Amino acid sequence: MRVATSTTGPLQDLDHWDEFLQGVYPEPPAAEPAVGTFRDYRAEARASVKEFYRLNHLHQTRAFVQAKKREFLPLQRRRMGVWPAMEFLNTLVDDSDPDTSLTQIEHLLQTSEAMRRDGRPRWFILTGLIHDLGKILCLFGEPQWAVVGDTFPVGCAFSDKIVFPEFFATNPDTAVPEYQSELGVYAAGGGLHQVDLSWGHDEYLFHVVKDYLPEPAQYMIRYHSFYAWHREGAYDQLLNERDRAMLPWVRDFNRYDLYSKAETRPDVSALRPYYETLIAEYFPPELNW
């Protein structure tokens, strides 16, 4: 998503985070992502991306996450339908290249249209369309590091499989003794639903749409940025059997999330009737945000 939010963080464009991830996890030759596949991201990362991760790893504490859940998860910011939410997100404009940048809706449609071309189920296509709508948190005044970024558990030891793990040295949670073990405050095999992940657009959108989509779609939305799990195999001690059963869906989704972006513009007006019908199959006219 090409989102200009220079006043709320170091990234000139939130799309720089997506581009960075494509470098860390280059597209594998097979549909199944290769666990642990990455380049020397420290050498290749933009200075602004490094600063973004420094801020993210500094501020995303368990107390911060729980405070954000109390603030946002009552879902009392506004009521609107899915397509109006897409139009709301579309008010974020990339002013670094206004003549050539795709709009937010065009980026959403790129992902869903790639899925549609591959003959994926209708709920899968819908999930691709909406999976980044949680980025409207930017429009509610949230800083970049609290909207995007790889997600990770808080309340237990930080894995060295998280990108830039050295930046956790300044996170206040490293001084909390009960958070320093692999399990921390969590039960072994208790499942990801018991775990507080770092706050961002994934968790927020999950709570907006979870009552309307099948379980695999819920996992794809909630955990698509949890790269330490679905690409690196970390945090196995926290998983239950349902998490393991859902992992292939998250991995399958991830290849569309990272690798479907292109400069070709989708025809929004031609596609809108199809997607409005699809949205109406699963969602009521308005949702709580």
Total number of domains in the chain = 1
Inside any domain, residue 10: yes
Tokens of 44: 């290749």
Domain, as residue range, for 246: 6-284
Is 134 inside any structural domain?
A: yes
Q: Give domain status of residue 1, yes or no.
A: no
Distance CA 93, CA 206 (A): 24
* pLDDT score, position 110: 93
State residue 82's pLDDT score: 98
The list of the chain residues with pLDDT below 50 reads 1-7, 29-39, 94-100
Residue 48: the pLDDT is: 82
Does residue 176 belong to any structural domain of this protein?
yes
pLDDT at 47: 84
Is residue 47, in this structure, part of any structural domain at all?
yes
- The pLDDT, as a whole number, for residue 141 is 93
Residue 278 in any domain: the answer is yes
Token pair recorded at residue 256 = 């569309």
CA distances from 232 to 30, 35, 168, 242, 289 (A): 16, 5, 18, 18, 32
Establish if 289 belongs to a structural domain: no
**pLDDT at residue 264, as a whole number:** 80
User: What are the helix (H) ranges across the chain?
Assistant: 15-24, 41-44, 47-59, 62-72, 82-89, 104-117, 122-130, 201-209, 215-223, 227-230, 241-259, 268-282
Residue 196 lies in a domain: yes
Phi, psi of 41 (to 5 degrees): -65, -25
